[in-house]
Amino acid sequence: MSFLSHLSSIISVSDSLQTELNSVTKQITVSKNQSIINIGHRCNDIYFVEKGLLRGYYLEEGKEITNWFAQEGEFGTCFYSFVAIKPSFETIQSLEDCILTQLPYSSLQNLYIKFPETERLGRIITETYYIKLEERLLSIQFKTAKERYQNFVLSKSSLLQRTSLGQIASYLGITQETLSRIRAEI
């Protein structure tokens, strides 16, 4: 799904907004295994995945911990860095060759002023991601490792063949050994 179709599924996007979006966004291609943003740098852009797969990860005692995946039709950014204008604690990495729509922070702020309906978009998209994050928090606090993996298989089955065991394990907050054991059991 393209960036504009995605937005149009949320609100009616006027022709003038569409023209503006085309002028302030950039479509970029990124090959597999590139770091788009590095830990410690400001994440100045939000990325919409037209094709491919991104992940955000941070380092905990030298180990990569996957914080999120963003596949086709989803947004990826280091939210904290992007919104709070602070250095990122995450690296954003392409797990596949990607086509991304890139929207800079300053352009988004201008859109908010010039096209008030984009505030509605921003509000609804943030609400949606808030609910997903809350689900994830509850799952990590109270679901067993097996339940978490089963839920991942159900809700993100398209990622199973596109990510490594280690990436899935750290995303679910379990060790790779535990994940291997669970997969063998199922």
Residue 183 as a binder of its own copies (CB under 8 A): the answer is no
Residue 142 as a binder of its own copies (CB under 8 A): the answer is yes
Which residue is associated with the tokens 């990325």?
A: 47
Q: Which residues inside 62-81 make contact with its own copies, applying CB under 8 A? A: 65, 79-80
| Contact by Cβ (8 Å): 97, 50 | no
CA 89/CA 59 separation, integer angstroms: 8
Residue 127 as a binder of its own copies (CB under 8 A): the answer is yes
Q: Could you tell me how many residues of this chain bind its own copies (CB under 8 A)?
A: 27
Q: Which stretch in 24-32, 95-103, 135-143, 175-183 sits in contact with its own copies by CB under 8 A? A: 135-143
Q: Between 98 and 117, how does the x/- string for binding to its own copies read (CB under 8 A)?
A: --------------x---xx
- Min dist CB 97 to its own copies, Å, is 28
First vs last C-alpha separation in the chain: 33
Evaluated on CA atoms 18, 23, 24, 28, the torsion sign reads positive
Which of 51/133 has CB closer to its own copies?
133
Kindly provide the b/e burial profile for residues 72-84, where b requires at least 16 CB atoms within 10 angstroms of the residue's own CB: bebbbbbbebbee
| Contact by Cβ (8 Å): 25, 104 | no
3-state secondary structure of 31: coil
Residue 85 as a binder of its own copies (CB under 8 A): the answer is no
Contact partners, residue 108, CB within 8 Å, separation at least 6: 46, 118, 122
Which of 26, 51, 114, 120: binder of its own copies (CB under 8 A)?
Answer: 120
Which of 65/99 has CB closer to its own copies?
65
Which positions touch its own copies (CB under 8 A)? 60, 65, 79-80, 83-84, 112, 116-117, 119-120, 122-123, 126-127, 129-131, 133-137, 140-142, 173
